[in-house]
Structure 1
């Protein structure tokens, strides 16, 4: 099934282009329901959790969590998305270079609890911001090129603290009918990618088919939410 998309590749420039041209149909103008409905499972009674947001665009989820007292670190390639996030949420911010990441920029809210890096995700590492107690992956694993998944998982697991709770949103559909992105990520693939080092729990599976996906030629579109935690042994 996956072979239909195995070689599909999006260059970083294509993502930047989509932001520049406002072709960002994946952006949600509200906090993601799946995050909202499962936040207690992610927090597990913890306060002031440090969250990582990979390829977050300008997700409102970041401000929502920051307003609860958590700290946010994100990595995004589009400068436009980062600036829009701060501007649309009326947050003042500073801009600085990152000596450890040549070519990268860091945008930091004046309240200091939101730090957004503009750089290639794969150049980021735990050397930059340490490890995280929470990760919200709403549109990252489904956006990266399928052949980069092993590399992506190596990065994400290296960023997970021992008590990290990682919420992963994946999509199921017929990849013969639509080339992506977002890409098809079957549950067995999640198991193959994370199963060696992490426990995986499927929290929800919902029918997410809308006119948008029907226009892509799809007749079913399932959104799955997984909770991934490092194995304790």
Structure 2
């Protein structure tokens, strides 16, 4: 982590990646860990409100909406948001967000999916309420390491008292690759969240694929955790 601590990516760099189509972080199918552990988030409820930080055009949002859940995401790239609705053949409306100057919200015609085009740190529960489920795939590992405390404070502020937060992390040798995605260790997750949440490691798996050789790394471990607010 120390070698990555000062690595900072501007929002404009993420915008550029979308404009140039450099979005290897996008997955065209529902994430295997979300499928596998969905029951742990839903916990027997028929409909819950999901939050997707830095959602991109994740197909997982449509998958959950089709099951009867509602989804709110935050994404800086308007191109990414519009691609989501186009890829999923969903009609949508565009509205300003009065609480965030310059921000917009894109809502599916059926109201089940809302994606806010905004700086994540300008988003709050005052804008969209709190959530019963959070799926964090590619967000905690994408934010600048120096912003992690701010990120954790935001995420915990968005959690209902019975919220279940599923977070996917990556571990590799940071001497070999500067990120993003950035290294997030088990200790790092605990440092950020254990004050507010109970943390359970659900699975640790070999996430190394051929494409990762281009990063210069020789191993990649993917870990998924379930976080639940501590009882008051």
Give the TM-score of the pair, scaled to structure 1: 0.99
Q: Which runs of 4+ in 1 moved over 3 A?
A: none
Give the SS at the match of 1:4: coil
Unaligned runs of 5+ in 2: none
2:105 corresponds to:
106
2:27 pairs with 1:35: no
Q: Distance in 1 between matches of 2:37 and 2:90?
A: 26
Q: Quote the offset at 1:100 in angstroms.
A: 1.0
Q: Distance in 1 between matches of 2:188 and 2:164?
A: 19
Q: Distance in 2 between matches of 1:117 and 1:56?
A: 10
Q: Distance in 2 between matches of 1:113 and 1:106?
A: 13
2:152 corresponds to:
153
1:45 corresponds to:
44
Q: Distance in 2 between matches of 1:18 and 1:166?
A: 27
2:131 corresponds to:
132
2:214 corresponds to:
215
Give the TM-score of the pair, scaled to structure 2: 0.99
Q: Distance in 2 between matches of 1:77 and 1:175?
A: 26
User: How big is the alpha-carbon RMSD for the aligned residues of Structure 1 and Structure 2?
Assistant: 0.5
Q: Distance in 1 between matches of 2:199 and 2:2?
A: 24
- Mapping 1:55-204, distance limit 5 Å: 55-204=54-203
Q: Distance in 1 between matches of 2:43 and 2:96?
A: 35
Q: Distance in 2 between matches of 1:16 and 1:54?
A: 16
Aligned residues: 232
Q: Distance in 1 between matches of 2:35 and 2:161?
A: 23
